[in-house]
Amino acid sequence: MKNKKALCYVALLALMVWCIKGFWSNNTVKVKPLELDQSQQEFQQQVNRDDLLRKEHEISTLKVEMARLKMESSKCGLESKFSPEIPKIYAITPTHYRAVQKAELTRLSHTLMLVPNLHWVVVEDAESKTDLVTKLLAKTGMSYSHLNAATPKSWKPKAKEPRWVKPRGVLQRNTALQWLRDNVSPNEDGVIYFVDDDNSYSLEVFEEMRYLKGVGVWPVGLVGGLMVERPKINAEGKVTGWLTVWSPNRPFAIDMAGFAINLKLFHSKPNGKFSFESEKGYQESELLKHFVGSLNELEVKADNCTKVFVWHTRTEQANLAQEIKLRKENKPRSDIGIEV
Ligand code: UDP
Ligand code: MN
């Protein structure tokens, strides 16, 4: 009897073990393929995600390439901007190397590229033409001439001089004027305008000057310590003087950006150029005295000199404190192999 009971217990135990084992093995048999499916699914999902990312990357690369090609093709359209029936604008830009030069010239070129029939005369203040300016000009697709003329060292500011008191860009502007005398026909219809690399220009200013017969004038914003400097205009629409505070008695108290000269008039006065001897602020007067006999002759532009289409902006010097630190510590500079 006792044996029978023990036998029953053993049988029951065996049954239980068998059941548990069966359940367990069933479970593992069922779970195992499920686990495999899940990881396979996850793997597949990851592959899909990677694929999607790759495709998105390809699409965005193609979009950038498309935009670049569009830009290139719009440059071909620049040729259609060559319209021989309208007078040509010769824009003269002196430029010198500093950290912000490429940024300035890029900004300026993107304005000038929009002006029909404009020839850009860029004069580098450098012993020889630099790669940076050469490549930048070639990339614009514009009509341009690239010159250089280095300002003598004795003219440059001394190490601790905060701002250069001597007139800037004089030699370069004269080099451009000489180039015009030597290379542009005196019979051509056109105008000459001095375009500094750091000023800001509205496209309107170029259309104001295009048909000048002599010398035209207009207001310049943010110059001479004022919001705007401009010619004083009388009821007859003639210039009678200058609305400036700084040195108002200059014969032409006007910034370089505030006038343009007809090309034929320029050619008719072979001595018309800037002078190194002029006092500060007298460069414009020095040049204009060759072309204008009296204020009465000036052509008043920009809606009777009531509109500002050009600003004498100045770019802050780049903060390169960390770059200087790198150099002091003999560490590699940040722009190795990359033109900024
Ligand atoms: N410039 C130059 N060499 C220099 C300094 C200036 O060719 O050593 C150029 C400069 O790039 C700019 C023009 O001359 O196109 C006028 O200089 P800047 O803007 O410094 O003078 P600002 O009229 O603002 O005082
Ligand atoms: Mn400037």
Secondary structure in 3-state letters for 184-241: CCCCCCEEEEECCCCCEECHHHHHHHCCCCCEEECCEEEECCEEEEEEEECCCCCEEE
pLDDT at residue 11 in the model: 56
pLDDT band of 160, cuts 50, 70, 90:
low
Q: Per the residue annotation, which of 104, 124, 208, 284 is the catalytic one?
A: 284
pLDDT at residue 57 in the model: 85
Q: What is the mean pLDDT of residues 87-101?
A: 98
| Two structure tokens written together for 264 | 């034929």
Edge-to-edge strand ranges of the sheet holding 310-311: 200-201, 310-311, 220-223, 226-233, 239-243
**Which positions ≥6 away from 297 have C-beta within 8 Å?**
214, 215
| 165-196 confidence digits (pLDDT tens) | 677 899 999 999 999 999 999 999 999 999 99
Q: What is the mean pLDDT of residues 140-147?
A: 98
Q: Whose CA is nearest to atom 25 of ligand 1?
A: 168
Question: 151 CB less than 6 Å from ligand 1?
Answer: yes
Question: 197 CB less than 6 Å from ligand 1?
Answer: yes
Residue 75 has pLDDT above 70, yes or no: no
Q: Which alpha helices (H) appear in 113-159, and where do they start and end?
A: 131-140
Decide if 226 contacts 245 (C-beta within 8 A): yes
pLDDT band of 340, cuts 50, 70, 90:
very high
The annotation status of 198 as a binding-site residue, yes or no, is yes
Cα–Cα nearest to 119, from 176, 54, 59, 202: 176
What mean pLDDT is reported for the chain? 88
In angstroms, the CA 204 to CA 336 distance is: 40
| 9-54 confidence digits (pLDDT tens) | 555 545 555 544 554 455 544 445 556 688 888 999 999 999 999 9
- C-alpha angle 199-83-261 in degrees, rounded to nearest 5: 45
Q: Whose CA is nearest to atom 17 of ligand 1?
A: 168
Choice from 151, 196, 278 to test ligand 1 binding pocket (greatest atom count within 8 A of CB): 196
pLDDT at residue 157 in the model: 66
pLDDT at residue 264 in the model: 98
Question: 283 CB less than 6 Å from ligand 1?
Answer: no
Question: Of 97-106, 228-237, 276-285, 288-297, which range is least confident?
Answer: 276-285
End-to-end Cα spacing for the chain: 101
| Two structure tokens written together for 281 | 């602020």
Please give the distance, rounded to the nearest whole angstrom, from the Cα atom of residue 20 to the centre of ligand 1. Answer: 92
pLDDT at residue 1 in the model: 46
Question: Of 67-81, 102-116, 205-219, 298-312, which range is least confident?
Answer: 67-81
Residue 5 has pLDDT above 90, yes or no: no
207 is catalytic: no
* Closest listed ligand to the CA of 163: 1
pLDDT band of 59, cuts 50, 70, 90:
confident
| 271-327 confidence digits (pLDDT tens) | 999 998 888 899 999 999 999 999 999 999 999 999 999 999 999 999 999 999 999
